[in-house]
Amino acid sequence: MLYYLLLPFSLVSDFINLGGTVLIVLFFVAVYMWVLISERIYFYRFILDDFIDSSFSSYKDLIGKDDWVNNKIKDMSLADINLKKNKNLNQIKGLVALCPLLGLLGTVTGMIEVFDVMAFTGTGNPRLMAGGISKATLPTMTGLVISITGLFAITFLERFINDRVSNKIEVFEK
């Protein structure tokens, strides 16, 4: 029973040993990116509508007779909504772009290991070179997979939020 509980940890440990230490950095970047994505999903699903409604009610309470002041209050309320809805999106996009670069860093470090093996043993030992090749390809693949999943998530979030907020903000235009 204990074997089955520890098996996922063993598999992850083996994967990191095959791919090098860059995979640990990629793991933490992926976890942080998905925490930010999860926070945005939670915000959009459960908090945003209430925030827009409270912003609209505050706007209605502050409306006066001066049209210029009313437009500035409306602009301020809309800017506040846009600031809240776009929070962390640029950071998520940056992390999505960072993952393939970290994968390439893993490729470079893996190739350095291959060249070290070739310098010490020559080109006659393919088994020793295979470890370096593994450390060269696994981080690249991992960085691309993390980046692709993050890209799908950020595209979904942007489409979802732009459609949802534009429908809710029409209330301000009336």
What mean pLDDT value characterizes the chain? Answer: 85
Q: Is residue 65 classed as helix, strand or coil in its secondary structure? A: coil
The CA-based dihedral angle spanning residues 20, 21, 25, 26, taken in that order and rounded to the nearest 10 degrees: 0
Domain of 38? Answer: 20-47+88-173
Does any domain span residue 66?
Answer: no
Residue pair 37/87 in contact (Cβ under 8 Å)? The answer is no
Return the residue matching tokens 């390809």.
137
Q: What percent of the chain is modeled with pLDDT above 70?
A: 93
Does any domain span residue 58?
Answer: no
d(CA 117, CA 166): 58
Does any domain span residue 96?
Answer: yes
Distance of CA 173 to the CA centre of its chain: 33
Number of structural domains (the chain) is 1
Does any domain span residue 9?
Answer: no
Does any domain span residue 101?
Answer: yes
Does any domain span residue 11?
Answer: no
Does any domain span residue 29?
Answer: yes
Does any domain span residue 42?
Answer: yes
| Tens-place pLDDT, residues 99-133 | 999 999 988 888 887 787 777 777 666 776 776 77
pLDDT of the residue at 174: 58
| Tens-place pLDDT, residues 56-77 | 888 888 888 888 988 898 888 8
